[in-house]
Structure 1
Amino acid sequence: MNTSRSTTPIAASTWPVFVLLAIAGLFYVKWFPYYNRAFTAASTHSIGASILMGSAASPPTPSWSAALGYALAYGKAIWQAMVLGLLLGSAVQALLPVRWVARLLGKTGFGSVAAGGLLSLPGMMCTCCAAPVVAGLRERQASPGGAIAFWLGNSVLNPATLVFMGFVLGWQWAGLRVVLGAAMVFGLGYLVNRLVTPTEAQAADARLIELVDEQRAGSPFARWISIFVRMAVRLVPEYIVLVLLLGAARAWLFPHVGPEIGNDFVWIVALAVAGMLFVIPTAGEVPIIQAMLSLGMGVGPAGALLMTLPPISVPSLAMLARSFRPRVLTIVAVSVVGFGIVAGLLAVALQF
């Protein structure tokens, strides 16, 4: 994409605000709490109860109580990160120089994918909390592949989750996640970028010129507030409804857990699909898998959940429905299930 024009004076004066917000917000919401939580994981080999079904062998039957109970537990775990995600997603559009995003993430080669994946590492957000930032990047003409790598990398390559996983589940699980996670983040990002047509690239270049002109007009902070409100009004209501529905439907997605859930291929596929659809907070897969393994579930289905619970969910797919073409999100969803199946088969073959 064309990035020849210089940064506007207004944009040049506002990017430090974005950097300060990102560092302070991530320190308060993610870095400091996870630093302390790592010591808990190392000493107790646990980071808490499974949000999916607690200590029970089955999720609660579908009901309003089950929906509300899960939504409240989930909301308590992620609300600060969601607010930060909305602030950052709107700030990307209002405070950062337009051409900076295009220069770093706008090209359709592997470079933007690598940049997106690496930038995701300090974020450590769950798939839904990262979605507003991804939407903001796409509004500023980040390439589809770069944005996908950033989105998936936040949860799949989360350094804190990998540490928790090593102490709680075992380092072989963390190693499996790193290898397949890197392939998912960078491989899917590259694949998505290869699907960009010349017409789409030209349209992105034209839109970039329009965005540069828009950034020269008006107050960036007034624009930030306006974009934040619009994003919150558009994304949050549908997000809440979908979380409620998934909370109620837990018993339909996940079976009674016991030794009968073995390493059969059918169970691996079924749990891979369920994990892709369901929504969890950051690192929520660790206690979920720990609880299921303690109840006798096979390592194959556990491996499937390892790779499918964190990266995407029905709510995050819905939140980004306007940011990507439907076939891109379909490819990502199907590929995540495929990675889950591979992870399950590897867990069995390697005798985890």
Structure 2
Amino acid sequence: MMYTCCAAPVAVSLRRSGASTTASVAYWLGNPLLNPAVVAFLLLVAPWQWTATWVGVGVVTVVAGAVLVGRGRRPADEELPSPKPYDQPVALGFLRTLARMTLVLIPEYVAVSLPSLVMVHRALRRTATLTTTALTVLAGLAGGLVLWAL
């Protein structure tokens, strides 16, 4: 149950750990197209014909994509480089990656969330003061960061 942005790194990891190209492509295409959450949402809000079409097109796309990739590669393409051993402790690598992602993602999150919070404040500005504006923005950012961390 993941979207393309999450399924792609998993598909790459599958490939690196020895899964075939065909299986990795089927996983990468199948996860977002046949996501049970999307199918359930479509069943709730759209006519059943839309859901049936979504699932049908998804199955055809996954099977066709996997078959095309399977036929289009040569046997030599299946050879994978051997994985490199870790040259640093795992905890250090984790902390380095966490720090790098924090420095990149939190400013992006603020840049994306701030305009929405400002629009909410403008809708409520008749009764709002500068203090309530600042508190609204900070509460929205803090709540979003808490949800992001989960």
> Normalising by structure 1, what TM-score?
0.26
Aligned to 1:152: 29
Residue 226, structure 1, aligned to residue 93, structure 2: yes
- Distance in 2, Cα, partners of 1:185 & 1:231: 33
Which amino acid in 1 is paired with 2:77? E
Aligned to 1:187: 64
Q: Deviations over 1:282-305 (max 9, x none)?
A: xxxxxxxxxxxxxxxxxxxxxxxx
- Distance in 1, Cα, partners of 2:28 & 2:45: 25
Which amino acid in 2 is paired with 1:139? R
| Structure 1, gaps ≥5 residues long | 1-123, 245-352
Percent sequence identity is 33
Task: Quote the offset at 1:184 in angstroms.
Answer: 0.7
- Residues 134 and 228 from structure 1, CA distance in 2 versus in 1: closer, same or farther, beyond 3 angstroms? farther
Aligned to 1:127: 4
User: Which structure has the larger Rg over C-alpha atoms?
Assistant: 2
Q: Deviations over 1:227-269 (max 9, x none)?
A: 79569959x96xx98xx9xxxxxxxxxxxxxxxxxxxxxxxxx
Aligned to 1:68: none
Alignment of 1:19-30 (within 5 A): none
- Residues 135 and 231 from structure 1, CA distance in 2 versus in 1: closer, same or farther, beyond 3 angstroms? farther
Q: Which has the higher helix share?
A: 2
2:44 alignment partner, one of 167, 177, 194: 167
SS at match of 1:142: coil
Aligned to 2:54: 177
Which amino acid in 2 is paired with 1:193? G
State the superposition RMSD in angstroms: 3.6
How many residues align structurally? 107
| Structure 2, gaps ≥5 residues long | 112-150
- Residues 231 and 154 from structure 1, CA distance in 2 versus in 1: closer, same or farther, beyond 3 angstroms? farther
- Distance in 2, Cα, partners of 1:144 & 1:224: 31
- Distance in 2, Cα, partners of 1:232 & 1:174: 41
Aligned to 1:95: none
Alignment of 1:1-352 (within 5 A): 124-201=1-78, 203-204=79-80, 207=81, 210-211=82-83, 222-223=89-90, 226=93
- Residues 170 and 143 from structure 1, CA distance in 2 versus in 1: closer, same or farther, beyond 3 angstroms? same
- Distance in 2, Cα, partners of 1:187 & 1:229: 40
- Residues 232 and 198 from structure 1, CA distance in 2 versus in 1: closer, same or farther, beyond 3 angstroms? farther
Say which structure, 1 or 2, has more relative contact order (CA 8 Å, 6+ apart). 1
Which amino acid in 1 is paired with 2:52? G
- Residues 228 and 200 from structure 1, CA distance in 2 versus in 1: closer, same or farther, beyond 3 angstroms? farther
- Distance in 2, Cα, partners of 1:231 & 1:147: 27
For the 8 Å contact 1:166–1:172, the answer to whether it is kept is no
